């Protein structure tokens, strides 16, 4: 799921690591506002959360994680710390996520 869609109290499915590999938040922790701000500050735009029910939410989270990895390769030669590049990255991710949700509803 997109960090912008994260809600306080959601439980992380995986460790959240900084680009240098340092663990920022351990798997299993419930996220709070401070975590969300830190994730945005580190440029992390997608997280995977645990879901009480295995359903569309988990599938969407997996899709977004895979999409984020694809976009990372497309943006690998770009400076993701630059505000314009990060904004473009987030727009690409949001656009693809919205298209995926639309396609899922039509299927």
Max CA separation in the chain (angstroms): 40
Predicted confidence at residue 3, as pLDDT, reads 87
> Which residues does 98 contact at the CB level (< 8 Å), separation at least 6?
none
- What does pTM read for this prediction? 0.50
Assign 99 a pLDDT band (cuts: 50, 70, 90): confident
pLDDT at 65: 75
pLDDT for 60 equals 63
Q: Are 64 and 93 in contact (CB under 8 A)?
A: yes
Question: What is the spatial distance between Cα 94 and Cα 89, in angstroms, rounded to a whole number?
Answer: 9
What pLDDT digit, counting tens, does each position of 61-90 carry? 677 777 888 888 888 899 888 888 888 888
Domain ranges of the chain: 3-106
82: three-class secondary structure by DSSP: coil
98 has a pLDDT exceeding 60: yes
Check residue 84 and give its pLDDT.
Answer: 87
Q: 42-53: per-residue pLDDT in tens?
A: 888 888 887 533
């Amino acid at each position: 799921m997109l960090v912008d869609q994260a809600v306080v109290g959601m439980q992380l499915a995986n460790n959240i690591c900084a680009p240098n590999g340092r663990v920022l938040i351990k798997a299993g922790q419930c996220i709070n506002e401070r975590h969300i701000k830190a994730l945005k500050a580190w440029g992390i735009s997608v997280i995977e959360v645990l879901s009480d029910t295995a359903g569309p939410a988990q599938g969407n989270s997996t899709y977004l994680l895979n999409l984020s990895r694809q976009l990372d390769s497309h943006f690998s030669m770009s400076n993701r710390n630059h505000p314009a590049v990060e904004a473009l990255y987030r727009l690409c991710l949001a656009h693809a996520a919205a298209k995926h949700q639309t396609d899922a509803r039509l299927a």
